[in-house]
Structure 1
């Protein structure tokens, strides 16, 4: 796992073999956006400690959606440190193991990529302490706004920190070499609409579920890519 600074003393990316998560700091209070695949908990704890931070200050884990590379370590981290696990109402039953993971409608070129993604360990069922809705405001980052962004999964969300100009897009948007619509969508047209909604927030920093964060001309890049995206 790689630990990458995005904003000094505020935001770090935790990059796993498949996917990534983000650690946000409010003083000593910590929030994870996504939690990596199953088996990542030890690496996440080491990363937190390497920053001189106390993992017991992890207050919440916000899941952008229900896929295994984002959910896998959430339950173990919550047990260790008492963090609350939060997910959108529509994906929460999948996180809990009550419903199957929704199957994407794959484009031909996505098929081998999807097979690679399935090599990540399957996520164990994980309880959800709070079910989120569009417009909910969470108590970190100066007021983190939940933005429902369906399409990748029905309960996918973005997390917007207006006070800091930061947007976590989950897998609705990717930054793999360029800003683009995320892959493996259950509803591509819905994902395009969600991409455009997220782009309209015009953040200064965009943090993707896959790919490096975008920190320069971010609003322009998001807008252009969203307008070019097609269903």
Structure 2
């Protein structure tokens, strides 16, 4: 796992072989956005300690959606540190193991990628202590707000910190190469509408579920990618802004 500073003394990315999580600091109080794969709890706590912080100060884990590479270590970290797990109402039953993970709609170009599958273990059933809705304030980041962004999953969310200009997109958007609409969506049309809603927030920092955070010309890059995106074609075939 790599630890990457995004905003000094505020925000770090924890990059795993597949996917990533983000650590936000409010003084000594800590919030984790997503939690990596199952079995990563020790690595996450080691990263926290390497910053001179205390894992015991982890107060909450906000899940952007129900997929294994985002949920995996949340339950173990919560049990160790009494941290509250938050997820959208529509994804919470999947996180808890009460409903199956929904299958995506796959166009032809996505099939070979999907068939290779995820190489991280399935997430165990995980408690959700607070089910959230669009517009709710989450208690960190001087005002962090839920932006319901359905399409990747029904309960996918973005998290917007307007006072800091930070947006966590989950897998609604990605930056594996150029900024793009996320893939493996249960409803591609709704995913595109959600991407455009997130882009309209015009953040100065965008933190993706996959790919490096965007910190330069962020609002313009998101807007251009959202305007140009077509979920039916590969990203390489989608026009990109200069």
State the TM-score, normalizing by the size of structure 1: 0.98
Q: Distance in 2 between matches of 1:51 and 1:117?
A: 33
Q: How many equivalent pairs are there?
A: 231
Shift of 1:160: 0.2
Please list, as runs of the form range in 1=range in 2, the aligned pairs for 1:1-231 lying within 5 A after superposition: 1-231=1-231
Superposed CA RMSD in Å reads: 0.8
Q: 1:116 to 1:70 in 2, by over 3 A?
A: farther
- The alignment partner of 2:5 has SS state of strand
Shift of 1:67: 0.1
Q: CA-to-partner distance for each residue in 1:118-167, whole Å, 9 max, x for gaps?
A: 22100000010000100001110011000000000000000000010000
Q: Distance in 1 between matches of 2:7 and 2:14?
A: 13
Shift of 1:117: 4.4
Are the counterparts in 2 of residues 189 and 230 from structure 1 also a CA contact under 8 Å?
no
Shift of 1:178: 1.0
Structure 2, unaligned runs of 5 or more: 232-242
Are the counterparts in 2 of residues 18 and 117 from structure 1 also a CA contact under 8 Å?
no
State the TM-score, normalizing by the size of structure 2: 0.94
Q: Distance in 2 between matches of 1:99 and 1:144?
A: 28
Q: Which runs of 4+ in 1 moved over 6 A?
A: none
Q: Distance in 2 between matches of 1:125 and 1:52?
A: 31
Are the counterparts in 2 of residues 34 and 61 from structure 1 also a CA contact under 8 Å?
yes
Q: Distance in 1 between matches of 2:115 and 2:26?
A: 38
